[in-house]
Chain A
Amino acid sequence: MQAPEANPTTATNKRAETGKLMSGAEMLLECLAREGVDVFFGYPGGVTIPFYDALYDHHIKHILVRHEENACFAAEGYARATGKVGVCCATSGPGATNLVTGLVDAMMDSIPLVAITGQVHSKLIGSDAFQEADTFGITRPATKHNFMVKTLAELPQIVHEAFYIAASGRPGPVLVDIPKDVFQARGHYTPVDTIHLPGYKVFTEGHTGQIRRAAQLIWEAERPMVYAGGGIIAANASAELTEFVELADSPAVTTLMGLGALSASHPNYISMPGMHGSYAANMAMTECDLLIALGTRFDDRVTGSLNTFARHARVIHVDIDPAEVGKNRNPDIPIVGDVKRVLQKLNRVVQELAPEFSGKHAEARARWFTKVRGWMAERPYDRPHAENEIKPQHLMDEIDRLSGGQAIVCSDVGQHQMWAAQLIRFNEPRLWINSGGLGAMGFGIPSAMGAQLARPDKLVFAICGDGGFQMAIPELATIATHALPVKIICMNNGVLGMVRQWQTLFYNNRLSAVDLQCFPDAEKLAGAYGFKGRTIDKPWQLAEALQEAINDPGPYLLNVMVTPDENVYPMVPAGGAIFEMVFAPETPVAV
């Protein structure tokens, strides 16, 4: 290969002659190491062979997955469990297109991710070469930003830009597409010191005047309500949120993406709001006079019908993304900034104003708390246990008991996800890992691989349904290879439960294409991969079987046969008002 053309615009090249001579593949690894990458997930192919050849001598750990989509999900699991940028790698063409679901998933949930894809030799681009796809074009709307590297000279700069964009502001996935000849080219490498992206705006501080006005509103409110989302977790702002909830003396809900942002055992914590949120959370959102939305985006699964959502409330909305503020609900006080920085300031101002306001609405606040706790007592989540069959809620109860708010739970998508979100407590952020925005089935198991690698000290559950489990079966090989002690809990009801639930409730019980009929023998399947598996179907086996799974030092597949026709309640029908929830037909009144 020829040496790369000098590019006078990058500072790198001025000193290029002095740098160490290495290949593009080696440079990429050097940059990844500088970014603190210790492990990444991938699958090699024709054009990435030069990269994997360089990796052969490198200390960075590579996890060979069994499908590129799962490389992306695993990198997400790693990122969600740590807050660090997750990294995945795929070859050109099919490798790159297989990443797309994971990229969109990371985009929807604002997860920092860098995806490296190989591309065909730059001379062949556009010629319909073998395994060529327009990765740059295909992933443009699937990423926060993407790059196509054209010369070796720009490679280090682009890699560092990719990490910076992925991790800063509202985090998200960034893809770097690298032609084979760039991996192979040799040039002088000098570390890049600065990144200059003149158009990339990151808003962090929040408007001081708005923060003061927000504090004022908070003191004036009689029925405040904190609505905290995944932004709190992305910003590592749990401590600030906890302090705020206490200073503001307000009850709080956390969204599906925000579970654990405020400890589930905090006295002000209610639960999750929304389509399958609790009665208390939805009623409190409806009746509050001030809604304090922190790092959240008024998702349709939370708000239901926007016209009726929190209709008595004034709204303070803090978000790092200006496009989210006012997108679904026009706030009275918009604050664009990093929710951690904003809360630090807001907490200070709320304290400053305390002498002026303290006690003014004490009585109203006390009444409000009484009302909220009344709703909580009136209709808690259903926790039916049966004598002769395992209720899915019973399963989640047991996992909750064993976790004690401490285990990492990686969930797939569907009914089990909602029951897990309702019934398993999370006392810290980064314990609850799920595909929230995109709702990508098959996410649970690969994300648990990433989470377990990131947190070897933690008990990691992968909870999935029998549908999502079968989407991810190939990764049992990866789990076995690395002896990842992930506890896979398959909530098996023999159907695609959430679709079946909608068909039952809204489509005259016409159960079309939801019967999963065939499911492999769990013990034999796990045994075939060399670890333990077991199927149970009686409630008295549950505690003991889960304990056995946890005690096992290796991976474990527990297939739990549950009541097949259980529905998730409460439920807000799509587009309905969140205070008009549908409850289980024979809900026992207040336990």
Chain B
Amino acid sequence: MLQTITILLENKPGALLRATGVLAARGYNIETLTVAKTLDPELSRMTITVDVEDRLRGQVVKQMNKLVNVLQATDLTDAPAVIREMVLLRVRCTQESRQAVLKEAEIFHSRVIDSSTEGFAIEATGDPEKLDEFIDVMRSYGDIEVVRSGGVAMSLETKKLRLQPPVQAAVIPQAS
């Protein structure tokens, strides 16, 4: 099963590489990754889904939490959370099947964003499994082209975020 990790980190150059580097250094391939700044523009929220072996799942999150730029990394795999993804899809279909395609789009609560004689461009959001089905269905009507965003996840629990307080600069450590 894929592990879903959500990371709150400083919006600084290299911060993304540090977080993902924890996975790359251990040879794990990232399945999806989304990142954007938060309400506080100095911070970013990142969602990663990755296939990490069970034994090491705790370890990678701990290693991420150790990073100076990371305020909080949390494993959402088994936690109460919602995960949503967006798909942009173009489907080429015959004149005869246009109605059927529109009907299917409606069933998946997706939105047609462009229409041409060739077919439609559709935007859909939902949980990743649902979107897999949506893509399968659309494929049955003709050639498709798909762009997926990767999941964004939000915890449904409030987790206390403790920011570290400022400290005094240039305090020389004393050896005993």
Contacts and interface: CB of A to CB of B under 8 A. Distances in A.
Interface in A123-174: 136-137, 140-141, 144-146, 148, 160, 163-165, 167
A322 B58 CA distance: 11
A284 B124 CA distance: 63
A322 B175 CA distance: 24
A239 interface: yes
A327 B63 CA distance: 10
B24 to A, nearest CB: 9
A72 B62 CA distance: 28
Nearest to B69: A199
A198 B164 contact: yes
B29 interface: no
A36 B172 contact: yes
A199 B170 contact: no
Contacts of A165: 68
B68 A140 contact: no
Contacts, number: 95
Given A164-B167, A165-B68, A148 B176 contact: no
A194 B68 contact: no
B164 A201 contact: yes
B66 A194 contact: no
A589 interface: no
Interface stretch (B10-18, B81-89, B101-109, B142-150): B10-18
A193 B165 CA distance: 14
Contact of B166 (A195, A321, A322): A195
Interface in A107-133: 112
Contacts of B71: 198-199
Contact of B175 (A35, A136, A164, A236): A236
Name which of A144, A198, A323 has the most chain B CB atoms within 10 A of its CB. Answer: A198
Contacts of A239: 176
B10 to A, nearest CB: 6
A84 interface: yes
A34 interface: yes
Contacts of A136: 14
Given A196-B165, A322-B66, 16 more contacts: A31-B170, A34-B169, A83-B173, A84-B172, A137-B17, A164-B167, A167-B173, A194-B166, A196-B164, A199-B67, A199-B70, A200-B68, A201-B164, A236-B175, A239-B176, A323-B59
B39 interface: no
Interface string B1-43: 0000000011001100110010001000000000000000000
A327 B59 contact: yes
B168 interface: yes
B65 interface: yes
B164 A197 contact: yes
Contacts of A194: 166-169
A163 B170 contact: yes
A409 to B, nearest CB: 18
A167 B176 CA distance: 14
A82 interface: yes
A288 B171 CA distance: 42
Nearest to B15: A199
Interface in B120-176: 163-173, 175-176
A146 B9 CA distance: 16
A238 interface: yes
B169 A199 contact: no
Interface in A311-325: 321-323
Nearest to A327: B59
Nearest to B18: A140
Contact of A238 (B17, B164, B176): B176
Nearest to A240: B176
Contacts of B167: 164, 194-196
A322 B65 contact: yes
Contacts of B69: 199
Instruction: Please name the 6 residue pairs, one residue from A and one from B, whose CB atoms are nearest each other, closest first.
Output: A83-B175, A236-B176, A323-B62, A36-B172, A160-B169, A196-B166
Contacts of A322: 62, 65-66
17 contacts: A83-B176, A84-B175, A85-B173, A112-B173, A136-B14, A140-B17, A144-B68, A145-B68, A148-B13, A164-B169, A197-B68, A199-B9, A199-B68, A199-B164, A201-B66, A323-B59, A430-B175
Nearest to A236: B176
Contacts of A164: 167, 169, 171
A34 B41 CA distance: 32
Contact of B10 (A34, A193, A199): A199
A438 interface: no
A323 B66 contact: yes
A326 interface: yes
Contacts of A197: 68, 164
Contacts of B25: 141
